[in-house]
Amino acid sequence: MARHTVTLIPGDGVGPEVSEAARRAIDATGVDIAWEVHAAGLGVMEANNGDPMPQHVLDSIRRNRVAIKGPLTTPVGTGIRSVNVALRRDLDLYALVRPCKWYPGVRSRFEDIDLVVVRENTEDLYAGIEFAEGMDETLELIDTISRLGGRTIRRDSGISIKPISVFGTMRVFRFAFRWAKDNGRRKVTAVHKANIMKHTDGLWLRVAREVAGEFPEIEFEDRIVDNMAMQLVQKPELYDVMVMPNLYGDILSDLCAGLVGGLGLAPGANTGDEFAVFEATHGSAPRYAGQNKANPMAMMLSGVLMLRHLDEREAAMRLENAIAHVIAEGRDVTYDMKADRDDPTAVGTSQVADAVVEQLERDAPSD
């Protein structure tokens, strides 16, 4: 029997290509993984009564407790709820860890960056509680709010609700502080807009301060989100682990990815108390689907996070080193890592996998 069984969801768009590259690289570490491959996303919707996440896929993740997934497309403006958001909610994957680390050889305006965004993954404006403009229930809600708060909301408004709970905030900060401790980090920064949204972000900041008191060995501070955005591009070296409500985390983790070379290099780990689903920060980049063009390194680095989670730390380190080696050599990298995006020397997704696998084979531990 294999040492680990992992659910693999190839995903939409460039997903199948980057997932296959990541699987090859993870297998080349020698860690014994049995992969349970399950399709989800746009491709299975028709056969599955319009549902992009078949029950057997969720059952597989529940059974194996660990999954790695390619990006899934959410069509804009169709009323289809994001399958990614639903997956995080159904499996209660409440903390999304997005490390943003600069590797020598990456073209970026910044060097030596090693930041981590911990994004709360289940609450905030992503809770999916929305009321469409003009609907009876929306008008009723508008009337109720006007009656209770004495404030007027225009009757032609759509409404999204932003719930932030003590429970949700406490567990994500406890997770972040523990993660910081376990990974030798020195500081946690709580990001918020408590000056304006006193009952949601204000609660977030209050609970963050309470939890910080439980971890005196880790430095704690807070930043207002707009100031945080500016500071990240001016002096990113001042920051370490940053904990953010869902929406700010979504936006600022892409900003951090931009600091270290772009979405092609930004991995992620959706984590809860029972399950973990690893995925790149980038989406399905439909424009590049099937062209062997997308950078698989973000998926591979998600594989590094997965190996650490499986307690295969030595293999995780070898995989990260192999990726770093390929980046530093600069020969077998995709278009997005070249100075000129049309550089004809850029290689494809599968060639990057070849290079990482070869490097792992060169570095394989001898018996």
Catalytic (active-site) positions: 126, 193, 226, 250
What is the C-alpha separation between 254 and 256, in angstroms, rounded? 5
Residue 341 and residue 194: Cα distance in Å, rounded? 41
CA-wise closest residue to 183 among 68, 271, 297: 271
- Which of 90, 118, 258 is CA-nearest to residue 189? 118
Instruction: Report residue 97 as tokens.
Output: 């860890």
Strands 66-69, 4-9: pairing kind: parallel
Please give the Cα distance from 291 to 17 (Å, whole number). 9
The minimum distance between CB 63 and ligand NAD, in angstroms, equals 22
336 binds ligand NAD (CB under 6 A): yes
Using rule CB under 6 A, residue 359 touches ligand NAD = no
Tell me the number of residues near ligand NAD by CB under 6 A. Answer: 20
Contact call for residue 348 and ligand NAD (CB under 6 A): no
- Residue 252 sits in the site that holds ligand NAD (CB under 6 A): no
Would you count residue 264 as binding ligand NAD (CB under 6 A)? yes
User: What is the enclosing helix (H) or strand (E) of 328?
Assistant: helix 313-329
> Any contact of residue 287 with ligand NAD (CB under 6 A)?
yes
CA–CA distance, 351 with 21 (Å, rounded to integer): 9
Is 276 a binding residue for ligand NAD by CB under 6 A? The answer is no
Cβ atoms of residues 352 and 295 within 8 Å: yes
Residue span binding ligand NAD (CB under 6 A) among the ranges 112-120, 197-205, 224-232, 282-290:
282-290
Element (H, E) at 228: helix 225-234
Binding window for ligand NAD (CB under 6 A); candidates: 110-118, 130-138, 283-291, 302-310: 283-291
Task: Rule CB under 6 A: choose which of 84, 121, 253, 359 binds ligand NAD.
Answer: 84
For ligand NAD, give the closer residue by CB, 242 or 263. Answer: 263
Stretch that binds ligand NAD, among 136-144, 186-194, 281-289, 357-365 (CB under 6 A): 281-289
Please tell me whether residue 283 binds ligand NAD under the rule CB under 6 A. yes
Tell me: does residue 60 bind ligand NAD (CB under 6 A).
Answer: no
Give the three-state DSSP class for 278.
strand
Residue 285 contacts ligand NAD per CB under 6 A: yes
- Termini Cα distance of the chain: 22
CA angle, residues 9, 12, 14, in degrees to nearest 5: 105
Q: How far is the CB of 190 from ligand NAD (least distance, A)?
A: 24
Provide the binding-site residues for ligand NAD, judged by CB under 6 A: 14, 18, 71-74, 84, 263-264, 279, 282-285, 287, 294-295, 298, 334, 336
